Amino acid sequence: MAIKAYGATAGDRPLEPMNIERRQPGAHDVVIDILYCGVCHSDLHQVRSEWAGTLYPCIPGHEIVGHVAAVGEEVSRFAIGDTVGVGCMVDSCQHCHPCEQGLEQFCENGTTFTYNSPISDPPGHTLGGYSQKIVVDDTFVLKVRHSKEQLAAVAPLLCAGITTWSPLRHWGAGPGKKVGIVGIGGLGHMGIKLAHALGAHVVAFTTSEAKRDDALALGADAVVVSRNTNEMAAHANSFDLILDTVAHSHDLDAYTALLTIDGTLALVGNPEHPHPSPSVGNLIAGRRSIAGTLIGGIAETQEMLDFCAEHGIVSDIEMIRIQEIETAFERMKRGDVRYRFVIDSASLSH
């Protein structure tokens, strides 16, 4: 089926309208009419070829919310009209050890990501959610139980939400735990909301004094301006988990020094240039860890969506038309967004 989309033909080209083909639904496929798609920093990195291996045409978008338009004959979990979501993945092998554990993002045979992954459908790679429709294997389609009014703000949960939820759950954020969130952007603002809702004592770290009140409003119990060494020192040896969402190269020692015994600094961002080598002394003194984490599995994503629906949690967003995407990218690069842009997909038909 032919549909409208927005993408780029090269890394130095702006996004522009495109006509693309989606496959006819197979027996296990769900056809989704896209209502909203969040704008993730990964979209910008990929489409501008700031990450290696971008395949063109590149159509980004992996924070998708929509309605089911059609289902294949073997699909029983979804019906036409259901509200659904699609996140960063659309397929995996389903039989390797990670897949069997619900860790499809680490599939040994290669996760098929929502854009820029090789597939047999034309043009030979996946095309993301800056488009009117998407066709996805039902295993990778998520149920959305939020109200109709919340749906635009649900979209960022599909990447920013799960990327912070998964490490919070894995490292046991909850009552009695002290959790730090570094960086108050698209990811960090979700990290604060989710850690707070899970019952942890939440401390937000920011370089900007101006974000102090915002962080408290999002649910932080305290805010530390990370440039202020006295403020930092006051929290030494106290954190069970620090979730670091900052994607550019920075000093990790400032945070490992704040971990308690067996505490973990979990990194979400993948910096273009490596972080300065961390101090091993900080790690062995206190059996502390530095870890990495990547999105989350499908079952875990459903768990997060259900938790958010139950607790009334959504992202803080600014809605845009697809025609405003280049301006949105520029503003996102400057950190000038509270806290996620979401595309109103109806604008694709204009």
Q: Is 93 in the site for Zn ion (CB under 5 A)?
A: yes
The least CB distance from residue 100 to Zn ion, in Å, is: 8
What is the C-alpha radius of gyration for the chain, rounded to an integer number of angstroms? 20
- For residue 54, how many C-alpha atoms fall within 13 Å in the half-sphere facing its CB? 22
Q: Residue 19 forms beta bridges with which residues?
A: 4
Tokens of 216: 């408290």
Among candidate residues 26, 172, 58, the one with its CA nearest the CA of residue 124: 58
Minimal distance, residue 317 CB to Zn ion, in Å: 14
Residues 5-44 contacting Zn ion, CB under 5 A: 40, 42
- Residue nearer to Zn ion on the CB measure, 156 or 180: 156
96 makes contact with Zn ion (CB under 5 A): yes
304 binds Zn ion (CB under 5 A): no
Q: 188 by DSSP, 3-state: which?
A: helix
> C-beta of 163: minimal distance to Zn ion in Å?
7
Task: Write the DSSP symbol of residue 158.
Answer: G
Min dist CB 109 to Zn ion, Å, is 5
Chosen residue from 54, 83, 92, 105 binding Zn ion by CB under 5 A: 92
Minimum CB–partner distance for residue 296 and Zn ion (Å): 12
Q: Is residue 103 at the binding interface for Zn ion, with CB under 5 A as the rule?
A: no
| 133-192: contacts with Zn ion (CB under 5 A) | 159
Stretch in the footprint of Zn ion (CB under 5 A) among 4-12, 94-102, 189-197, 336-344: 94-102
* Least Å from the CB of residue 347 to Zn ion: 21
Candidates 19-27, 88-96, 139-147, 260-268; binding stretch for Zn ion (CB under 5 A) = 88-96
**CA-CA-CA-CA torsion sign (275, 173, 113, 349):** negative
Stretch 105-124: interaction string toward Zn ion, x if CB under 5 A: --x-x---------------
How far is Cα 59 from Cα 4, in angstroms, rounded to an integer?
Answer: 11
What DSSP line would sit under 38-65, residue for residue?
A: EE-HHHHHHHTT-STT--SSB-----EE
Alpha helices in 76-185, H assignment, sequence order:
97-100, 151-154, 160-170
Q: In terms of CB distance, is 157 or 159 closer to Zn ion?
A: 159
The residue type found at 6 is: Y
Please give the size of the binding site for Zn ion, defined by CB under 5 A. Answer: 9
Closer residue to Zn ion, CB minimum distance, 224 or 343: 343
Nearer to Zn ion, 108 or 213 (CB): 108
The answer to whether 99 contacts Zn ion (rule: CB under 5 A) is: yes
The DSSP secondary-structure symbol of 278 reads: P
* 145-179 residues labelled b (16+ CB within 10 A) or e (exposed): ebeeebbbbbbbbbbbbbbbbbbbbebebeeebbb
CB of 41 to Zn ion, least distance (A): 7
107 versus 223: smaller Cβ distance to Zn ion: 107
Q: Which is nearer to Zn ion, 25 or 269 (CB)?
A: 269
Distances from the Cα of 45 to the Cα of 18, 229, 349, angstroms? 20, 32, 26
Is 63 or 240 the residue whose CB approaches Zn ion more closely?
A: 63
Residues near Zn ion (CB under 5 A) are 40, 42, 92-93, 96, 99, 107, 109, 159
